[in-house]
């Protein structure tokens, strides 16, 4: 594990953008799977600005979303909507370079990615409950590849998604499983804020357990963990 402790969120974002940009600059096909949400927001802003200045050919860069929650009566799910707004649309990613994960195609996504050369980089955030991608405590099986989880009204997953979305979620949630993520060539985990200090301590220093799903990531041979000082405050 390569541990980077950045002074603040801005520095964390600069480091993150630099790692992703390095992959993008490869003069060959590159397969990326990137997170959405608040943690990578500034990193994507930096990437958009940098790519605009470079005016580089991005036709060899392909994107795979690692989880998805269907939104009723919407064309795109939560993850794809977030990625399109934050990165894909601003940098003009061609439709054929976006490989959308859905409840209709999840069963063969691992095979398709392997045929395309495998994932070169997965950029992830960390949930306060220790989840990564859509691998939640109580649902995680370290042996799983990409899978779907039924979203049943009244259960924990349903309530969590409804609170997060602010609306009724679809019937299923799909995600890269631990085995899928661990097959990637490089992993990057970004964590910021004091509210994540306790869980990142457990992930890094605690045992590998399915009850803290992200703990498995520490066994990957090429993982970079980028924290701001607030998130790192409890580490030994």
What per-residue confidence (pLDDT) applies to 160? 76
- Mean pLDDT across 37-45: 96
Give me 51's structure tokens: 């790519």
162 belongs to a structural domain: no
Least confident of 3-17, 56-70, 174-188: 56-70
Q: Say what the pLDDT of residue 209 is.
A: 98
Does the residue 170 lie in any domain? no
The answer to whether the beta carbons of residues 168 and 180 sit under 8 Å apart is no
Mean pLDDT over all residues of the chain? 94
| pTM of the model as a whole | 0.95
131 is catalytic: yes
* DSSP codes of every residue in 103-169: TTTGGGHHHHHHHTT--SEEEE---TTS-BTTB-TTT--TT--SEEEE--TTSHHHHHHHHHHSS-E
Q: Which residue has the higher pLDDT, 69 or 192?
A: 192
Q: List, as one string, the DSSP characters of 163-187.
A: HHHSS-EEEEEEE--HHHHHTSS-E
155 found inside a domain: no
Q: Which range marks the domain in which residue 19 is found?
A: 2-149+176-228
Mean pLDDT of 37-59: 94
Active-site position among 67, 120, 220, 228: 67
104-159 confidence digits (pLDDT tens): 999 999 999 999 999 999 999 999 999 999 999 999 999 999 999 888 887 777 77
Per DSSP, the three-state class of 17 is helix
pLDDT score, position 156: 74
Catalytic pick among 62, 73, 99, 129:
129
Percent of the chain with pLDDT over 90: 81
Residue 8 is assigned to a structural domain of this protein: yes
For the chain, the residue count is: 236
> What tens digit of pLDDT does each residue of 174-230 get?
999 999 999 999 999 999 999 999 999 999 999 999 999 999 999 999 999 999 999
Q: Which residues pair with 147 in a beta bridge?
A: 175
The single residue of 62, 131, 220, 228 carrying the catalytic annotation is 131
d(CA 133, CA 187): 12
CA-angle at 133, arms to 151 and 222, nearest 5°: 155
The pLDDT value given to residue 74: 77
Tokens in use for 24?
């993008």
Under the banding of pLDDT at 50, 70 and 90, the label for residue 96 is very high
pLDDT the model gives residue 147: 98
* Cα 157 from Cα 179, distance rounded (Å): 21
Beta bridge partners of 62: 31
80 has a pLDDT exceeding 90? yes
Quote the pLDDT of residue 26: 92
pLDDT surpassing 90 at residue 161: no
* 83 has pLDDT over 80: yes
Are 227 and 5 spatial neighbours (Cβ–Cβ below 8 Å)? yes
The verdict on residue 80 lying in a domain is yes
Other beta carbons within 10 Å of 25 = 12
Annotated catalytic residue 222: no
| Phi/psi-derived region of residue 39, left when phi > 0, alpha when psi is between -120 and 50, beta in every other case | alpha
Is residue 165 a part of any domain in this protein?
no
Q: Is 43 inside a domain boundary?
A: yes
What's residue 122's pLDDT?
Answer: 99
Asked whether residue 108 is domain-assigned, the answer is yes
Quote the number of domains for the chain. 1
20: CATH: 3.40.50.1360
């Amino acid at each position: 594990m390569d541990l980077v402790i950045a002074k603040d969120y801005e520095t964390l974002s600069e480091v993150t953008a630099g790692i992703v940009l390095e992959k993008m600059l490869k003069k060959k096909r590159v397969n990326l799977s990137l997170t959405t949400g608040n943690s990578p927001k500034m990193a994507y802003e930096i990437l958009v600005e940098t790519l605009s200045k470079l005016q580089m050919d991005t036709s060899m860069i392909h994107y795979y979303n690692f989880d998805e929650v269907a939104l009723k009566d919407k064309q795109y799910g939560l993850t794809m909507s977030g990625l399109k707004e934050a990165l894909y649309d601003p940098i003009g990613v061609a439709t054929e370079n976006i490989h959308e994960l859905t409840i209709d195609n999840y069963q063969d996504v691992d095979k398709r990615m392997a045929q395309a050369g495998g994932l070169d980089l997965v950029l992830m955030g960390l949930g306060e409950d220790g989840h990564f991608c859509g691998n939640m405590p109580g649902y995680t099986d370290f042996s799983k590849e990409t899978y779907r989880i039924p979203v049943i009204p009244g259960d924990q997953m349903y309530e969590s998604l409804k609170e997060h979305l602010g609306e009724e979620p679809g019937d299923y949630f799909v995600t890269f499983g631990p085995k899928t993520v661990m097959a990637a060539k490089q992993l990057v985990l970004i964590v910021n804020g004091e509210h994540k200090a306790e869980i990142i301590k457990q992930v890094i220093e605690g045992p590998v357990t399915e009850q803290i799903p992200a703990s498995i990531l520490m066994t990957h041979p090429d993982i970079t963990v980028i924290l701001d000082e607030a998130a790192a405050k409890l580490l030994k």
